[in-house]
């Protein structure tokens, strides 16, 4: 089952200019589950898991986040700060008449999910794929910082915009997409999306708005309140950008944390291990 046709939702309370998001909603009377993709993806990243959850009776809501997919791509770094991104998710929930919801996120969607779970009491439980709690990530050590080198590179406007598309996206294919088997559709979808006018810059604004190069190497553990709802942290042993430690140490900042290891998959767990990701999500939502 493919995702249902998207609807256009203009998000109230968002930054100006108004931002309209493309949102897939399976409908149904069951508990709502919101799935957030990361860089450089769109809602269809979660298509296999949305099918599993919808078949189990859940109402699944999957937006193209701002800057991605068919959603608006406002110009200006200020429009991609975490406060605006959180307002987008809550604005979508409001527009669909959803009060409280379970949440899952991958990559930047996971970062957004962590901050939303901290900032709002509307999240009932949270599944983070690949990226651990921001405090655990910030203090994960030199190994993680070395793997995150690209976050600093992305800070320079125009540089990644020139290098990434060169020679038919050769660098992106060799660096980020190397774990995909030949013929997998996701790399082609990512490149097609990034090739649209303004799309690559819009996607990079997530890094430029929310990564502070001055504090990139943290020397003290950030003081953040504990997360009190249940959290599942999922990490894959073929991830080229994230260490196991930054996910496991998330337990220090969550009262009810469980860790799941996906073996043999790269960074894009929902697409590289779709059945395992669907099983983990369903069991977690059912409280197992």
DSSP string for residues in 78-113: GGGSHHHHHHHHHHHHHHTT--SEEEEEETHHHHHH
User: Using one digit for the tens of pLDDT, what is the confidence trace for 4-13?
Assistant: 999 999 997 5
Is 33 inside any structural domain? yes
How confident is residue 288, by pLDDT bands cut at 50, 70 and 90? confident
**Predicted pLDDT of residue 128:** 98
pLDDT for the residue numbered 216 = 80
The mean pLDDT of the chain is: 94
pLDDT of amino acid 28: 83
**Banded pLDDT at 213 (limits 50, 70, 90):** confident
Q: According to the model, what pLDDT value does residue 12 have?
A: 75
As for how many domains the chain has, the answer is 1
pLDDT grade for 276, boundaries at 50, 70 and 90:
very high
For helices 185-194 and 166-175, what crossing angle results, to 10°?
130
Q: Torsion angle, CA of 38/39/40/46, rounded to 10 degrees?
A: -20
Query: Which CATH number does the domain housing residue 111 bear?
Result: 3.40.50.1820
What is the β-pairing status of strands 20-25 and 7-10?
Answer: antiparallel
- State mean pLDDT over 172-184: 92
2 found inside a domain: no
Q: Does 32 map to a domain?
A: yes
Alpha helices in the chain (DSSP H): 47-55, 82-95, 108-119, 134-138, 142-147, 149-153, 159-163, 166-175, 185-194, 199-210, 244-248, 269-272, 274-285
> Whose structure tokens read 């810059």?
201
Residue 13 lies in a domain: yes
DSSP 125: E
Residue 176 domain-assigned (yes or no) = yes
pLDDT band at 18 (very low <50, low <70, confident <90, very high): confident
Q: Is the pLDDT of residue 15 over 70?
A: no
What are the pLDDT digits (tens) for 41-99? 999 999 999 999 999 999 999 999 999 999 999 999 999 999 999 999 999 999 999 99
Q: Would 1 be classed as within a structural domain?
A: no
**pLDDT the model gives residue 13:** 57
The pLDDT value given to residue 136: 94
Residue 32 pLDDT more than 90?
Answer: yes
Q: With H, G, I as helix, E, B as strand and everything else as coil, classify residue 7.
A: strand
- Range(s) of the domain holding residue 198: 7-285
Average pLDDT of span 155-176: 96
In a domain, 170, yes or no: yes
Q: What is the mean pLDDT of residues 117-123?
A: 97
- The verdict on residue 255 lying in a domain is yes
Q: Is the pLDDT of residue 267 over 60?
A: yes
């Amino acid at each position: 089952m493919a995702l249902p046709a998207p609807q256009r939702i203009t998000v109230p309370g968002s930054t100006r200019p108004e931002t309209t998001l493309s949102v897939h909603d399976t409908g149904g009377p069951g508990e709502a589950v919101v799935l957030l993709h990361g860089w450089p993806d769109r809602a269809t990243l979660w298509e296999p898991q949305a099918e599993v959850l919808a078949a189990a009776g859940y109402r699944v809501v999957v937006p193209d986040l701002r800057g991605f997919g068919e959603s608006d791509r406002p110009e200006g770094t200020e429009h991609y700060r975490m406060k605006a991104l959180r307002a987008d998710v809550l604005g979508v929930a409001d527009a669909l008449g959803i009060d409280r919801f379970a949440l899952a996120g991958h990559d930047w969607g996971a970062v957004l999910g962590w901050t939303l779970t901290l900032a709002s009491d509307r999240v009932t439980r949270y599944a983070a794929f690949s990226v651990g709690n921001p405090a655990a990530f910030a203090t994960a050590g030199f190994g993680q910082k070395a793997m995150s080198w690209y976050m600093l590179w992305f800070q320079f406007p125009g540089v990644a915009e020139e290098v990434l598309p060169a020679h038919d996206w050769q660098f992106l294919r060799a660096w980020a997409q190397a774990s995909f088997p030949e013929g997998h559709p996701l790399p082609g979808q990512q490149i097609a999306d990034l090739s649209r006018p303004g799309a690559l810059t819009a996607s990079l604004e997530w890094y430029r708005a929310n990564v502070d190069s001055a504090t990139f190497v943290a020397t003290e553990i950030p003081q953040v309140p504990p997360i009190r709802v249940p959290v599942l942290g999922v990490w894959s042993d073929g991830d080229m950008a994230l260490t196991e430690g930054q996910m496991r140490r998330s337990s220090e900042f969550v009262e009810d944390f469980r860790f799941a290891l996906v073996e043999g998959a790269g960074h894009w767990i929902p697409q590289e291990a779709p059945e395992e990701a669907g099983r983990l999500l369903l069991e977690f939502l059912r409280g197992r």
